Amino acid sequence: MAVHSLAPRPRGGAPGRDGIDPGFVLGTKADLTVRLADGAADIDAAQHLRYRVFYEELEAKPDAKALASRRDADRYDAICDHLLVVRKGAAVGPDEIRVEDGELVGTYRLLRQSVAEHSGGFYTQDEFDIAPLIKRHSGLKFLELGRSCVLKPYRTKPVVELLWQGIWNYVRLYDLDVMLGCASLEGTDPAHHAMALSFMAQNSAPPPEWQVSALPGRKVEMNVLPPAKVDAKRALRILPPLIKGYLRLGCYIGDGAVVDHQFNTIDVLIILPISAINPRYFSYFGQPGENPLTQS
């Protein structure tokens, strides 16, 4: 197992929604911890990290408020849970984004369906027509994943695995059934990503019961190359690690991509039912339906 501990942080805080405390530790590896944000200061740090990655590194276009505050923020931050990856230890550089227990190096935003339904819906619905999907699976509980970012020096296999372990333990603690959300390719020229987009369309299209399409007027065709011209090995090499990881787990990719000019990205929809995950990963990350708090 990748996780060496799973417990609330000692300082606790007010009880979290449905019983998971703010600051709850969802996994550790070496000097890294993945936990839930604990209060406004942690969320502010996550917004600062997102600004640094999205706007300063990846050249997203900030509005006046974001530029002045140096934060990536929207209305969903107040209703989401925020995963934080923290490197323990003293500061080693003046540009570190610090939280109480160390340097913030990664973050991920989580929105459960039970919260979204009372708060205006999911962020993803602005790009993809997810309402019919949720209606078709009315007996299942959905989790939206978004705003993923990791500082460049930490974009390594251990950090990606720790982020996934944190998400997976969160899924198991809340007994969730389906993960979905937008994943991004850098840049806004679909032709530049023709190989990767065609590969995903041809190899990860969902069965009928899991089909979702990009919204009319925003949809960009993904399957633009004939199969004979799609080199699977090359496509996997050039895909971002996050998307590659989801594909290995067994995710489906929605029909059509969306160009997000503000964030300088091309977005695809990840749909990952727990039932579709390759079982070989459970021996490493833990079995579905198993309460991670009972694991040794």
What pLDDT shows up at residue 285?
85
Domain 17-294 has CATH 3.30.450.30: no
What pLDDT shows up at residue 6?
55
Per-residue pLDDT of the chain (296 residues; tens, 9 = 90+): 334 445 544 433 333 445 578 899 999 999 999 999 999 999 999 999 999 999 999 999 999 999 999 999 999 999 999 999 999 987 778 889 999 999 999 999 999 999 999 999 999 999 999 999 999 999 999 999 999 999 999 988 888 889 999 999 999 999 999 999 999 999 999 999 999 999 999 999 999 999 999 999 999 999 999 999 999 999 999 999 889 989 999 999 999 999 999 999 999 999 999 999 988 888 878 888 888 876 54
What pLDDT shows up at residue 243?
93
What pLDDT shows up at residue 4?
42
What pLDDT shows up at residue 156?
86
DSSP string, the chain: ---S-----TT--SPPGGGPPTT-EEEEETTEEEEE--SHHHHHHHHHHHHIIIIIIS-----HHHHHHT----GGGGTSEEEEEEE-SS--STT--EETTEEEEEEEEEEEHHHHTTTT--GGGGTB--HHHHHHTTTS-EEEEEEEEE-GGG-SHHHHHHHHHHHHHHHHHHT--EEEEEEEEESS-GGGGHHHHHHHHHHSPPPGGG--BBPTTTEE----S-GGG--HHHHHHHS-HHHHHHHHHT-EE-BSEEEETTTTEEEEEEEEEGGGS-GGGHHHH--TT--GGG--
What pLDDT shows up at residue 106?
96
What pLDDT shows up at residue 18?
54
